[in-house]
Every structure is written in C-alpha cells, then in structure tokens.
Amino acid sequence: MSIDVNWPELLNLEDESPTQPRYVRLKKRIHDAAASLPAGTMLPSETECAALASVSRETVRKAMNLLSGDGVLVSKRGHGTFTAKPHVATGLNRVQGFTEAVTSKGRRASTMVVRLDREAADVATSAALQIRKGGEVWALERIRNIDEIPAIVETAYLDVKLFADLDKEILTGSLYALMRDRYRLHPEFGEESIFAINADRKLARQLDVPIAAALLASTRISVTRHRVPLERTMRFVRPELCSYSVLLAESTGLRVRSESDPD
C-alpha cells in the first residue's frame, strides 16, 4: 500500500531534547506514525530513515527490530518493512487449529506442504502418541501463512495406524477438520508447552526472518474425549504475527523444564 506520508517531519529528531538514546526516540516516532497509518503501509528503507532522522543505519535497525518484536511492524525480505495488521491470538483453553484461528480474525490462511514422510517415532513422539518406540508415524511439515506472509513452521507427528492413507489427502487446509471429517476423530483436549528460541538457518529461510531472530516455539499434544492421542506437533512462530492467550484458572500453571526435557 502506498500513501502520502510526510516522513521527513515524522522522523525528525532535531526538535527533541536528547534525554533518551536515539534508537528509543526513533522507536517512539515510528510507533506513533504507525499507529496513525493503515496496516500494510510501507516505511522508507533503513538508509532513507537513517538520512531523514540523521542517525546511523544501526540505530534505525535497532528501533525497527524492537517494533517488529512488538508486532507494530512486519518485514518482508526483498520487499521492505510495513505497518503490521493485528496479530492472530491462539487460545490455549481449547484445541484450535491455525486455519480456524486465522479465519476467525477475518484474515486469509494458506499452507505450503514441505514434506510428508513415514518415519520411526522417537522417544518423545512414541510417549506422546502412546505407541512403541520406533513405531511408524507420519511426519507432516508445513509452512502456515497469514495473508501470504509465512507465520508458522509446524511439524505434526501422527500415528500411521490412525491416519491411514494420509498421503492421499489434501493437506493444505485444517488438519483438525480433516481428522473430524475424514477419520471421525475429534480433538477435544490438549496440552501445549511454549518456550522461546532463536531461528536457525533453516527456520530463518522458511519464515523469511533474519538468522537468530526471536521466535516462539511450542509442543502440542491433543487427544480425543476418550483420551486417544492424535498428534504431537512442533510449531515455530513469528511473534509479531501470532501470539498465545490463556484464561487463567486454578489448573493453569507454570512448569519449569529440566535440562533433559525436550518439550
């Protein structure tokens, strides 16, 4: 989206008393400007912002990275930096898939299947799915997009015995809808563990973010009403696009992971 914005005036730091670091003042200037602009408005490049604000590119990069982490801006590699749309919040109090969460916000969800392989379950997956170690599972890796922007990389591990002929199904939609409609298995309950990581080279490429960018990561295990395990899914999430929300109750708790706990 291209609109007429008086960036020289908006980014001018000369009329401010230098009581705070430049990147903090620039961050506030850009934040205030973004709040008044439509989602999808393109910002000037780092070089242009540096010239307009009379600061270094490193100062601009620091301010924009902070705003991206806050969900105010979103960067598209090769295209530029834009004001962000409101992020999609996934509730942790019910089993909800990505497609359902995105469409409920009036956004457009799309999916690219990276791979679907049969492989032997590792220790964590066999325990989660209650199958023997080395039992055969599907490994379904997908990139989930919000309005064509890569938001999540997820890998779902599913028991081949429960989901026969999965390789013959269309896997670009809701996996939970497929479970319900095709296999008559309804995910009713689940447990999700959330932690933070930095993007490695592969995740950076898949999510179109810099290497070492901060990501949310989670491990989800969902089961049916009769406690039949359906999935063990790993997700890596761009936090400026998606977040998690939870309704606090007596059963809501903080679990401290041990060094040997992979989840």
**pTM, to two decimals:** 0.64
Q: Which two tokens stand for residue 213?
A: 């960018």
Between strands 242-245 and 88-91, the pairing is parallel
pLDDT of residue 94: 46
pLDDT of residue 90: 54
Q: What is the CA radius of gyration of the chain?
A: 21
pLDDT of residue 146: 85
pLDDT of residue 103: 75
The structure tokens 């689940």 sit at 190
pLDDT tens for the 263 residues of the chain, in order: 455 678 888 888 876 667 788 888 888 888 888 877 887 888 889 999 999 888 999 999 988 888 877 778 887 777 888 887 765 555 434 445 677 777 776 778 889 999 999 999 999 999 999 999 899 999 999 999 988 889 899 999 999 999 999 999 999 988 988 999 999 998 888 888 888 999 999 999 999 988 998 898 989 999 998 999 999 999 999 987 877 766 555 555 555 555 555 45
pLDDT of residue 25: 87
pLDDT of residue 92: 39
pLDDT of residue 119: 96
User: What is the sign of the dihedral through the CA atoms of 117, 123, 128 and 130?
Assistant: positive
Domains of the chain: 7-83 (1.10.10.10), 88-245 (3.40.1410.10)
Q: Which two tokens stand for residue 106?
A: 């009036």
pLDDT of residue 10: 82
